Structure formats: C-alpha cells, structure tokens
Amino acid sequence: MGAARDAVKRLAWRAGLTGAVARRRLGDSLTVLMFHRVLDRADPRWPGATRQYTLDPQEFALALDVAGGLFTPVSLRDVVEARAGGRPLPPAAMLVSFDDGWSDNLHYAAPELARRGWPAVLFAAADWIGSARPFWQEEWHEALATGRIRRADLADHLPAELADISVQAALARLEPEARSALFRALGGGGRPAIPAFLTPAELARLAAVGWAVGGHGCSHEPLTAVPDGAGEIASARQSLTAMTGAPVDSLSFPHGRWDAALVQAARASGHALCFTSDRLANACPGGRPASDLLGRVEIHAGLLADPDGTLRPERLANFLATLPVGVLEAGEAALAA
C-alpha cells in the first residue's frame, strides 16, 4: 500500500499535478522555507554538523528545484512592504530563510541561490558571528560521532536524575560552565577549530549581494529561557546593523521558542516581522500577510530521501503542497481549511 501511494505521488509530481494543487491551495499564502546548513560531505566540517539541520549540495539543489515548481520566490523586503500596505505578494509566494549564521551558507548555499537569481534572508545569532567554534550541540555531536567521547563514559559522568533522558536533553540541562568542563575532561577539547560561523566581513558580503540579514538573538539560547530576552532582541539588532551597515527589521526566534511578551518586545524595538518555527503556510489575503508573526517550514533530508538515501523529490513536493494555511496571533496558530 505504501509503495502504491509513493508511486502515485511520483506520477503526480512528474505530471505537474502536485504543483497545480500547491498553487491552488496556497495561492493566498506565504510559505517560508527554513534551512540551517549546506555542506559538501567531503568538507571537514561535515562530521561536526548535525544531520537533521544539514543538507549536502545535491539535496539543497533538489529542495530548491521542488520549491521552484510550487512557489514564486520573494525577498524579505517584498514581505515587509506587502505587510505595510505596499505592493502585494504574488500568488503562492515563498521566502528562503537560513538560521544561525554558518559560514557554509556563503560557500555552498549562496552560489546555488545566485545561479537561480533567488533572494534569501539569514537570521544570525549576533554573538557567534566571527566565532571559530560551533554551538556546543555541534561540538558534542562531532565528538560522540567520531568516538573522541564515548557515550558510556558520558553516562557515567551525568547526574543520576538525567540518566533516563536523551544525551542532548541531559547536556542542555547542565550549566554552560559545567558542560564545557565535562567536554574537556572527557577528551573533547584540544582539536583545532574549523571556522564555523561567518565573520563580520563575510556577513557584510552576503548583505552586499542581496541577502537580507535578520536577528536570531545574541547567545542562540531560547529567548524564553535567558535572563533578558527583550534585551537580546534589541542588542542583536544593534550589533547586526553595525556589521552590515543595513537596517535589521526582522528576526527569527532561536530554537523556535517564543511567547507574546517577546513578540511585543520585538515590535517595540523596531522589528517589522517575527519568524517562528511553527509549521504552516501564512495566510496572505490579497497578497498581504495577515500577521507580522510568521511560521516557517523546516527542510531536512528526511523530507527528500528514502532511508537508504535515494532522493525522492515527490516526497517534499507532496509535503509542501499539503501544508496547513493559517495565521499566527497572540501565541497560537489559527489554521484555515
């Protein structure tokens, strides 16, 4: 039965029916695609990249091929202006977004988008721009994946109350200083760092070739959990504006964590749009976003391939064509039919 469904999806995609369905269902909406990293598998940064958030160049190009068959690319400026009452968005509009500020966005993603003439927006964690080290999650991932740290040794060093949850969840509950000390004690430190994030000059290069830059907090910690989330929003805006020489008027919430107070803080500090990780296409009656709070759709390898790695563009096409359409307001998504 599953094989038959897959065959139907494949035929519908090849015949153009999936695209027709998407344009009809999502004509009065904006779909925001969310990416993180694009890396060649031979790149020395690949072992340290979390697979859930990383596509290789072939996967990335295929994802863009599929999206281009369903949607019309627009820029962040187009969305801001449409929301403010300017020119409306085209039917079935789509915005390409990236989170964090990884240097590989410049090396692999930007050239592919430039070949297509597509705009994009990068939401950068301000304090990490210029950092050679990756986030702690990636450092631990690489150390565990390559065997530099053994899971059995790690389990022996975790507090007993964290023994029954996932490794990442357990590590996230440790204080940053304790987590760093444990990393070094177990042999995770000492390896030369491969530059992980864009430098300020590289960030400015992306801005100069047409990428918009938005905020993503400063620390990359969830803004609902830091002592001063509103302060991080304002500080990131100021820092990124100084780096790029261009106004920063939009943000995405790190880890997709947000609440009404943070949205109000973003508005008060001059942000025109706030992007979440809520999976939906955003209602745009008459080509105008119904809210300044917008959901996004994470694109990962599991949407593009079978477990054996065989690429299946029809999977992503069907997933995108059947997205729910809704409006995010006051902490909840109101989904339309």
244 and 255 in one domain? yes
pLDDT (tens digit per residue) in 31-54:
999 999 999 999 988 988 888 899
- Could you tell me which residue, 1 or 238, shows the higher pLDDT? 238
Residues 88 and 286 sit within 8 Å (Cβ to Cβ) = yes
Q: What is the pLDDT of residue 76?
A: 98
58 and 141 in one domain? no
315 and 255 in one domain? yes
pLDDT at 335 > cutoff 70: no
Give the CA distances from residue 169 to residues 149, 165, 200, 245, 261, in Å, rounded to whole numbers and listed in that order.
17, 6, 31, 38, 26
In sequence order, the 6+-apart residues with CB closer than 8 A to the CB of 20 are: none
Return the top range by mean pLDDT from 144-158, 185-199, 276-290: 276-290
Q: Which neighbouring-strand residues pair with 274?
A: 251, 293
Query: Which residue, of 185, 202, 222, is where some domain finishes?
Result: 185
66 and 47 in one domain? yes
Return the HEC string of 208-254: HCCCEEEECCCCCCCCCCCCCHHHHHHHHHHHHHHHHCCCCCEEECH
180 and 197 in one domain? no
pLDDT-derived band at 171, boundaries 50, 70, 90:
confident
Query: E strands along the chain, which residues?
Result: 29-35, 37-38, 54-55, 72-73, 93-100, 121-124, 212-215, 250-252, 273-275, 281-283, 293-294, 297-298, 325-329, 332-336
pLDDT-derived band at 143, boundaries 50, 70, 90:
confident
235 and 175 in one domain? no
65 and 39 in one domain? yes
**Domain total of the chain:** 2
Return the HEC string of 73-100: ECCHHHHHHHHCCCCCCCCCEEEEEEEE
Q: Has residue 336 been placed in a domain? A: no
Query: Residue 157 belongs to what domain range?
Result: 136-185
Residue 110, token pair as written in the block? 């930007």
158 and 30 in one domain? no
Q: Has residue 335 been placed in a domain? A: no
pLDDT (tens digit per residue) in 64-106:
999 999 999 999 999 999 999 999 999 999 999 999 999 999 9
Query: Which residue, of 163, 185, 207, is where some domain finishes?
Result: 185
Q: Has residue 334 been placed in a domain? A: no
pLDDT-derived band at 193, boundaries 50, 70, 90:
low
Q: Has residue 9 been placed in a domain? A: yes
209 and 145 in one domain? no
179 and 204 in one domain? no
Q: Has residue 337 been placed in a domain? A: no
121 and 144 in one domain? no
Query: Which residue, of 151, 185, 219, is where some domain finishes?
Result: 185
Q: What is the pLDDT of residue 11?
A: 79
Q: What is the CATH number of the domain that holds 266?
A: 3.20.20.370
Mean per-residue pLDDT, 121-145: 88
Q: Has residue 169 been placed in a domain? A: yes
208 and 121 in one domain? yes
pLDDT-derived band at 162, boundaries 50, 70, 90:
low
Q: Has residue 21 been placed in a domain? A: yes
Q: Has residue 146 been placed in a domain? A: yes
